[in-house]
């Protein structure tokens, strides 16, 4: 599945526990919910590749209660709205890799991928596949999406 690729591997520590300790703009956290946050993928499969991550460190969906699961889905909905507004994609991949065998780059801390898709985006993805995205571009994406999350979260609740 497409969202299997492009995840970051950390030698130690947990990226998804560490990121919320930073400032939003530095961490590229575009939205903070009560139980989960939304962050840009540093190795995006396409432009606008987001991840929704529970704050609590746990490896699989069975470890979470209904409140977190609900927020995962409401933030998924919000992310789709924001990405449609920002990039007008023709489709999305939404999904989770649970366990290293399934392709999770950070297997200890569950996260849900949202990947906007366009017709003919395979060439673009091949080009970007193994390339570390430049910081300026991450900042641009952040600047574009963060205000939309703020605005659209206020209107969609
Ligand atoms: Zn963690």
End-to-end CA distance of the chain: 31
Ion ligand 1 nearby residues (CB, 5 A): 14, 16-17, 57, 109
Task: Compute the distance from residue 10 Cα to the ligand 1 centre, in Å.
Answer: 11
Q: Is residue 155 part of a domain?
A: no
Query: Which of the two residues, 135 and 18, has the higher pLDDT score?
Result: 18
Q: Which residue range is the domain that position 143 belongs to?
A: 2-149
Q: Is residue 8 part of a domain?
A: yes
Segment 103-117 mean pLDDT? 92
State how far the Cα of 34 lies from the Cα of 110, in Å rounded to an integer. Answer: 16
Give the active site residues: 111
Give the pTM: 0.84
157 domain-assigned: no
Instruction: List the structure tokens of 95.
Output: 């999904």
Q: How many domains does the chain have?
A: 1
Q: Is residue 154 part of a domain?
A: no
For the cut 90, the answer to whether the pLDDT of residue 61 exceeds it is yes
CATH code of the domain containing 32:
3.30.428.10
pLDDT digits (tens, 9 = 90+) for 21-35: 999 999 999 999 999
């Amino acid at each position: 599945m497409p969202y299997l690729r492009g995840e970051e591997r950390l030698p130690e520590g947990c990226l998804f526990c560490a990121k919320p300790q930073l400032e939003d703009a530095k961490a590229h956290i575009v939205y903070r919910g009560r139980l989960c946050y939304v962050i840009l993928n540093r190795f995006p499969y396409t432009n606008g590749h987001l991840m929704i991550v529970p704050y609590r460190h746990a490896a699989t969906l069975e470890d979470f209660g209904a409140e977190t699961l609900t927020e995962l889905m409401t933030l998924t909905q919000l992310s789709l709205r924001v990405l449609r507004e920002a990039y007008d994609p023709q489709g999305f991949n939404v999904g989770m890799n649970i366990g290293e065998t399934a392709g999770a780059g950070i297997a200890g801390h569950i996260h849900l991928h949202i990947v906007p898709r366009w017709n003919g985006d395979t060439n673009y993805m091949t080009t970007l596949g193994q390339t570390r995205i430049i910081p300026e571009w991450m900042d641009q994406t952040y600047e574009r999406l963060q205000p939309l999350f703020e605005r659209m979260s206020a209107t969609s609740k």
